[in-house]
């Protein structure tokens, strides 16, 4: 059982959601420290939090003075943290008092687990399918894109990236959990070298879970632990920027892990498909942002 737990939060102009996230994190049970790695925010919230909690030695704010991206900022926070377990937490995720102890209990019960996730939910309590995802192999992505994944129940060849059916109510082994909330053993995080800094935003959680499994660790979803995830505090005002890096992350993951990347000419087709998809969707995202 980890002797101490550090919560790692990356902020990037995250706004008021960061304030509530940190307040709830400090009030939660079993928390030894909260480390906020700020990626050059200009909204003043990280500084205000540091001032408001200056008497609480459990809160530390690390100022990066530039946007390093999510994974690199988590790595910075992890180097500053002292915990034997690390809870990576998005600034728009809100912990309940018992969330962390319940996740730690899963870690204690499974010595071979390196990563434990929870079911992240929207404000209405609806589970996010990203709470348990399969590796985004090309065939799975194509099944999802073309709609063939709807027929997975009748033919496993049509399986997609998301696992169909309701979220489990118990702890299950999965391929990936959501990077919005990940509890990691410090020993596993250090052995893996943390997040791959080659990703800027999106897919770095898929990469970490894949490398954890390849290293012999289990990735578990605590299906009975639900956490509210507001989504978009840092990214809602720049959707095209976020989409650009999401597509870059998809391409990096494909090149690193998908066996299809070793087939002649196929990587060129995948590269073209990824960026055609970005070009097709970016104008709509920009227009929706401008109409708000």
In the predicted model, what is the mean pLDDT of residues 230-253?
82
Quickly state the pLDDT bin for 27 (edges 50, 70, 90): very high
Residue with tokens 């998005």: 90
129 pLDDT higher than 90: yes
What proportion of the chain, given as a percentage, has pLDDT over 70? 95
3 pLDDT higher than 90: no
Looking at domain 5-132+167-229, which of 3.40.1190.20, 3.90.550.10, 3.40.50.1220, 3.30.10.20 is its CATH number?
Answer: 3.90.550.10
Q: In this structure, are strands 218-229 and 113-121 parallel, antiparallel, or unpaired?
A: parallel
DSSP per-residue letters across 133-170:
B----HHHHHHHHHTGGGGTTT-GGG--SBPPSPPPSS
Inter-residue contact 46 to 65 (CB < 8 Å): no
- Note the maximum CA span of the chain: 60
pLDDT on residue 230: 82
pLDDT on residue 238: 79
126 pLDDT higher than 70: yes
235 pLDDT higher than 90: no
Going by C-alpha positions, the residue among 174, 204, 8 that lies closest to residue 95 is 8
Beta bridge partners of 6: 33, 86
In the predicted model, what is the mean pLDDT of residues 115-135?
96
Inter-residue contact 89 to 208 (CB < 8 Å): no
Question: Which has the minimum average pLDDT: 29-43, 219-233, 260-274?
Answer: 219-233
Residue with tokens 């494909």: 254
Residues 134-162 pLDDT 10s: 999 999 999 999 999 999 988 999 999 99
Quickly state the pLDDT bin for 62 (edges 50, 70, 90): very high
CA distance 218 to 124: 30
Neighbours of 89 (CB within 10 A): 29
Residue with tokens 């003075």: 65
Q: In this structure, are strands 5-11 and 33-38 parallel, antiparallel, or unpaired?
A: parallel
At residue 113, what are phi and psi to the nearest 5 degrees? -85, 135
In the predicted model, what is the mean pLDDT of residues 212-217?
98
- Mean of per-residue pLDDT scores for the chain: 93
pLDDT on residue 278: 87
Going by C-alpha positions, the residue among 250, 221, 247 that lies closest to residue 136 is 250
Residue extents of the structural domains in the chain? 5-132+167-229, 239-291
Quickly state the pLDDT bin for 231 (edges 50, 70, 90): low
Q: Which residues of 94-120 are buried (b: 16+ CB within 10 A; e: fewer)?
A: bbeeebbebbbbbbeeeeebbbbbbbb
């Amino acid at each position: 059982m980890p002797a101490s737990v550090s919560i790692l939060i990356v902020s990037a102009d995250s706004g008021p959601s960061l304030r509530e996230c940190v307040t709830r994190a400090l009030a939660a049970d079993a928390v030894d420290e909260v480390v906020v790695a700020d990626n050059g925010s200009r909204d003043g919230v990280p500084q205000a939090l540091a001032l408001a909690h200056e008497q609480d030695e459990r809160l530390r704010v690390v100022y990066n003075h530039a946007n390093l991206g999510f994974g690199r900022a988590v790595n910075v926070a992890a180097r500053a943290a002292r915990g034997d377990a690390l809870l990576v937490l998005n600034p728009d995720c809100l912990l309940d008092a018992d969330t962390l102890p319940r996740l730690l209990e899963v870690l204690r019960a499974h010595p071979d687990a390196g990563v434990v996730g929870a079911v992240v939910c929207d404000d209405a309590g609806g589970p996010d399918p990203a709470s348990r995802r399969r590796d985004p192999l090309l065939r799975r992505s194509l099944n999802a894109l073309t709609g063939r994944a709807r027929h997975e129940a009748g033919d496993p060849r049509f399986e997609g990236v998301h696992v169909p059916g309701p979220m489990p109510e118990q702890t299950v082994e999965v391929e990936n959990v959501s990077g919005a909330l990940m509890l990691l053993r410090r020993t596993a995080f250090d052995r893996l070298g943390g997040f791959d800094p080659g990703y800027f935003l999106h897919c770095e959680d898929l990469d970490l879970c894949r490398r954890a499994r390849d290293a012999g660790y289990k990735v578990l979803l605590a299906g009975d632990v639900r956490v509210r995830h507001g989504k978009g505090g840092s990214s809602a005002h720049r959707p095209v920027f976020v989409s650009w890096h999401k597509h870059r992350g998809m391409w990096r993951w494909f090149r690193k892990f998908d066996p299809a990347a070793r087939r002649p000419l196929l990587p060129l087709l995948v590269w073209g498909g990824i960026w055609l998809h970005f070009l097709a969707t970016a104008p709509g995202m920009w227009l929706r942002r401008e109409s708000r």
